Homo-oligomer: A and B are copies of this chain.
């Protein structure tokens, strides 16, 4: 048996998220498993570093599985890519120890959220960014973003309905960069709660637009009340950039 680690990318637009669903929806997992089955005859149990939601993209998602197939590891990308659609690609395959687990072995994950501030939506960015043509005080938004760095209880930034042992997470990096008329939010942390990045971005936009003060972030971290946070930013602005092991 070999444990294989795949680094993959996908454009989330036409996927119903990563995870296989009961109704046979088009998901990343379903497409990958179909390709693996065609190659090996097996349906391996696929583990993803982060199960991205419908519409969310990935440039460096990591999945792992164990297989009896005797395909040399350097042959996996070509073999799989020949069986995958153009919106899903395998960048790299590595043989890893059997103890490797794409999700539990991950030290940190890095997400990027793109907000496009152009007056009119750019046809080239429409699939990958949230069009937000409203005035923003970027300095204020950055002050608020800085307060997120460190270990905190992010309960107030998590969507309801996910059962997790603890809502404490550590964010190592929260930066907001401007390039042309786009804002790039980059968040790296040791774990992310359900819809946490999108809720953080929604809250930062609320603050940047002047509808709340930067102190709101610290308040939400203190009291953990989701209702005080901003609306969840839409999925298509979000990309899982990389997973660090």
Question: Which residues of chain A have a CB within 8 Å of any CB of chain B?
Answer: 9-11, 57, 59, 77, 81, 86-91, 119-124, 126, 128
A86 to B123, CA, bound (A): 6
The answer to whether B90 touches A123, judged by C-beta atoms less than 8 angstroms apart, is no
Q: Which residues of B contact A77 (CB under 8 A)?
A: 119-120
A10 to B123, CA, bound (A): 6
What are 8 contact pairs spanning A and B, CB under 8 A? A10-B123, A11-B124, A59-B124, A77-B119, A87-B123, A89-B121, A89-B123, A124-B128
Q: Which 6 A-B pairs have the closest CB atoms?
A: A11-B123, A87-B123, A89-B120, A9-B123, A86-B126, A89-B123
A126 to B128, CA, bound (A): 14
The answer to whether A120 touches B87, judged by C-beta atoms less than 8 angstroms apart, is no
Question: Quick one: which of B59, B86, B124 contacts A9, CB cutoff 8 A?
Answer: B124
